[in-house]
Amino acid sequence: MSTARPSMFQRSRSANPKEQLIHVLLLCCALVSILTTLGIVVVLLRSAVYNPGPKTAFFEEVSLGEFLTDTRWKPVERSQLSPEADQGHFGIWPLLSGTLMVAVIASLVSVPTGLGAAIYMSEYAGPRERSFLKPVLEILAGIPTVVYGFFALHFITPMILQPVLKHVFGIEIGLFNVASAGIVVGIMVTPMIASLSEDVLRSVPRSLREAGYALGSTRFDVSMRVVVPAALSGILAAFLLAFSRAIGETMAVTIAGGHKVLFSVNPFEEMRTMTGYMVHQSFGDNSADSIQNKSIYAIGLALFVITLSINIASQWILRKFREVYQ
Amino acid sequence: MSTPPLSVTPQPSDVQSLKSVNFISGSDSTIRRRLFLSRVFAWCCRIATYSALAALVALLASIIVNCLGRLNLSFITSVNSVDPAEAGILAGLWGSFWLISLTTLMSVPLGIGSAVYLEEYAKDTWLTRVIKVNLSNLAGVPSIVYGMLGLTVFVRMFDLFGSSAAKSKAINLLGIVKIPLPLGDIILAGALTMTLVILPIIIIASQEALRAVPSSIRTASLALGATRWQTIRHQVLPAAMPGISTGVILAVSRAIGDTAPLIMIGALTVARFCPAGIDSPVKLLTEPQRILQAPMDQFTAMPIEIFHWAKQPGDDFSPVAASGIVVLLLVLSVFNGFAVWIRYRTSRGLKW
């Protein structure tokens, strides 16, 4: 197979059983990641789409059309006996809207700060300032998400959102709200956007900047009209990764986002997200065969599909639009 | 991971300094306006950067203010309680200890093995490409989804052995350890799940570290007659160790703070016992047979207890939650300090 390398390896491999055994063992290690993906897909499909055993899967009881179009989420067992009003509803929109609200608010917070920080660190800050700022961002990225949930509940909402909204706009808001969850998730993904974007900004060759300065550009012109456009694909890819991370974020939004299942676009409402619903259901004592338990697999499948598509889109953008410099 | 200081970006100080501004512009107001805009932009970027610092300070301050008056020695020597004045984090501390030890034991060999295979052995076949693409996708899967995988595969084992509540069947190892089938919500199941969560992070970091080892090291070793594995074992891996250990510690710190997969597999939220009854390091020495029993016990973990306290209604438990966060952050900073130390220690002897 490999023509570049001499047959030395092939011979030593076949001659030495120990070397061969190690090769196989290492291959097995590498296959674990493939098995993990297969496992995730099988587990989600088995409980959500089609169950080969005697039990039924979620989508065998609830149609995909209802799941994607109904705007009510009321996970109760369906039966012929109960009256129409008590029937379960399984439309993903209330949960999806909560998740999207969090992700959009998080983007509004993290894109300006993350991108600003990336530009500052790559274009303005000296090596000393960088060596101080980088660890700060790393610490911010390393703080567990439960801590951010606590921060939202005990600082962002009572110290910032409630007083500002009350005194400036005269709105009273509750302790649980999507805005505080979105803000802390935004703080959480800012380091990700900043460090990924900074890497691509730094990979823009110096000659482009020097050409800009030679033509009489100010630093603003060079940053915003030369460097950022040249690095745009990488910045977009970083944003998509952060967006997908915000969608999959669990603990902070479960703590701060609240309990109501609502289809709304009001950021000061309490709303449950997809991940929040999954956590909530796993605390309940429903049996493994109940529709509530199956519904978390359906939500999990939706979450997996959404985050996977965004990640693939991000990789595609990086590959497709990469600028290659000599 | 901090990058070494790179070369200074071009500093057009002559354009920026006021003296030359006056010299260039004189009467031209558009240049003045452009320079003003440039300066405003610089300040916006600076504010954006330092707002991240402000957020960090606010976060730490809000936690410290909340934990004052509650955090004391008894907090880390007692287990959870319904009384906020008596609740402690001991059960979570030991639960996290066992969980993370097992996770590290399983994920480090697997992760480094995969990375060595991908970087040193794999040829460019379709299988290799599939593994590589798959890895970057796995790293982006939300950890709660891994929790569902762990719940079905490890905790319930596809219901092949009946329901997990019955715990009828078990594998007996040497008469000391009973591995229940299905596993149920025990530490081993949590550690297996957590291993899968952090495996992609370890593999990707180790791959980068291996790639940074110059190929001259390999060719020199092979030229001296070492086999491929000898080359990897004695030359490549030691040289890549600083990078690999940094990646491992970052991944393990992520596992310490990760909560969602543990909640999904059904770890306890309120536990008033330590796994296998080991509640002090002394018992590890005096009753060593319990060490093997601990992985088969039910557990809670630090972040789960914090989550439980944080979502209690009212303000009674917020000092408890804040104290738990302080303990968690202290453990994390010890870990990260360790990473810095390892990087410093192991990188001293390496020069090429």
User: Under an 8 A CB cutoff, do B145 and A300 touch?
Assistant: yes
Structure confidence at residue B20 (pLDDT): 46
Distance CA A25, CA A149 (A): 42
Same domain, B29 and B77: no
| Last residue in a domain, options B45, B65, B85 | B65
Residue B147 lies in a domain: yes
**Residue A84: pLDDT band by 50, 70, 90 thresholds?**
low
Which H helix or E strand runs over A101? helix A93-119
> How do residues A96-108 score in pLDDT, each as one tens digit?
999 999 999 999 9
* Interface A-B: count of C-beta contacts within 8 A: 287
Structure confidence at residue B212 (pLDDT): 92
Least trusted range by pLDDT, from A5-19, A171-185, B82-96 = A5-19
**Residue A86: pLDDT band by 50, 70, 90 thresholds?**
low
| Last residue in a domain, options B26, B43, B65 | B65
- The residue-averaged pLDDT of A260-278 equals 89
Q: Where are chain A's structural domains? A: 93-320
**Where residue B192 sits, what CATH number does that domain have?**
1.10.3720.10
Residue B1 lies in a domain: no
Look at domain A93-320 and name its CATH class: mainly alpha
Mean pLDDT by 10-residue block, N- to C-terminus, for chain B (352 residues)?
A: 45 46 58 90 94 94 92 88 87 94 96 95 90 91 94 86 64 74 88 96 95 93 92 92 90 93 90 85 83 87 94 88 95 88 72 54
The domain of B56 spans: 13-65
In angstroms, the separation between the Cα of residue B352 and the nearest Cα of chain A is 24
Same domain, B131 and B39: no
Task: Indicate whether A33 pLDDT > 70.
Answer: yes
Residue numbers of B between 217 and 276 with CB closer than 8 Å to A: 222, 227-229, 250, 253-254, 256-260, 263-264, 266, 269
Domain count, chain B: 2
> How do residues A40-58 score in pLDDT, each as one tens digit?
999 999 888 888 877 788 8
Tokens of B114: 């995969």
Structure confidence at residue B190 (pLDDT): 95
Distance CA A175, CA A154 (A): 9
Same domain, B49 and B88: no
Residue B316 lies in a domain: yes
Residue numbers of B between 287 and 316 with CB closer than 8 Å to A: 303, 306-307, 310-311
- Mutation target to probe the A interface, by most A beta carbons within 10 A, among B100, B135, B229, B304 is B229
Chain A residues inside the 8 Å CB shell of B306: 146-147, 150
User: Under an 8 A CB cutoff, do A147 and B3 touch?
Assistant: no
For A34, the closest of B6, B130, B141 (CB atoms) is B130
For B137, the closest of A16, A43, A311 (CB atoms) is A311
Same domain, B226 and B88: yes
Chain B CA closest to residue A47:
B152
For residues A302 and A274, the answer to whether their CB atoms sit within 8 Å is yes
Distance CA B346, CA B352 (A): 14
Percent of chain A predicted with pLDDT > 90: 56
Task: Indicate whether A87 pLDDT > 60.
Answer: yes
**Residue A290: pLDDT band by 50, 70, 90 thresholds?**
confident
Q: Judging by beta carbons within 10 Å of its beta carbon (0-12, 13-18, 19+), is residue A256 exposed, middle or buried?
A: buried
> How do residues A167-176 score in pLDDT, each as one tens digit?
998 888 888 9
Residue B141 lies in a domain: yes
ipTM: 0.89
Same domain, B151 and B30: no
Structure confidence at residue B236 (pLDDT): 94
Q: Between these two residues, A79 and B233, which has the higher pLDDT value? A: B233
Burial profile B115-144: b = 16 or more Cβ within 10 angstroms, e = fewer: bbbbbbbbeeeeebeebbebbebbbbbbbb
Structure confidence at residue A7 (pLDDT): 44
User: Under an 8 A CB cutoff, do B140 and A144 touch?
Assistant: no
Phi, psi of B48 (to 5 degrees): -60, -45
Distance CA B116, CA B110 (A): 10
Q: Between these two residues, A222 and B348, which has the higher pLDDT value? A: A222
DSSP string, B149-184: HHIIIIISGGGTTS-TTT--EEEEETTTEEEEES--
User: Under an 8 A CB cutoff, do B2 and A138 touch?
Assistant: yes
Same domain, B150 and B204: yes
Percent of chain A predicted with pLDDT > 70: 92
Same domain, B87 and B170: yes
Give the closest residue to B201 by CA, choosing from B162, B160, B247.
Answer: B247
Give the closest residue to A182 by CA, choosing from A206, A161, A201, A196.
Answer: A161
The alpha-carbon radius of gyration of chain B (Å, integer) is 26
Structure confidence at residue B163 (pLDDT): 64
Up-side HSE of residue B277: CA atoms within 13 Å toward CB?
Answer: 7
Distance CA A272, CA B245 (A): 38
Chain A CA closest to residue B32:
A218
Tokens of B264: 């999904």
Structure confidence at residue A13 (pLDDT): 47
Helix orientation angle between A93-119 and A178-203, rounded to the nearest 10 degrees: 40
For B134, the closest of A34, A251, A296 (CB atoms) is A34
For B310, the closest of A122, A149, A307 (CB atoms) is A149
Same domain, B210 and B329: yes
Q: Between these two residues, A6 and A267, which has the higher pLDDT value? A: A267
Structure confidence at residue B348 (pLDDT): 66
For B118, the closest of A9, A30, A133 (CB atoms) is A30
Same domain, B59 and B175: no
Distance CA A90, CA A70 (A): 7
- The residue-averaged pLDDT of A240-268 equals 90
Structure confidence at residue A3 (pLDDT): 44
For residues B47 and B41, the answer to whether their CB atoms sit within 8 Å is no
Residue B6 lies in a domain: no
Q: Between these two residues, B51 and A292, which has the higher pLDDT value? A: B51
Residue B261 lies in a domain: yes
Residue A74 falls in which region: left (phi positive, over 0), alpha (psi -120 to 50) or beta = beta
Chain B CA closest to residue A310:
B140
Distance CA A267, CA A248 (A): 19
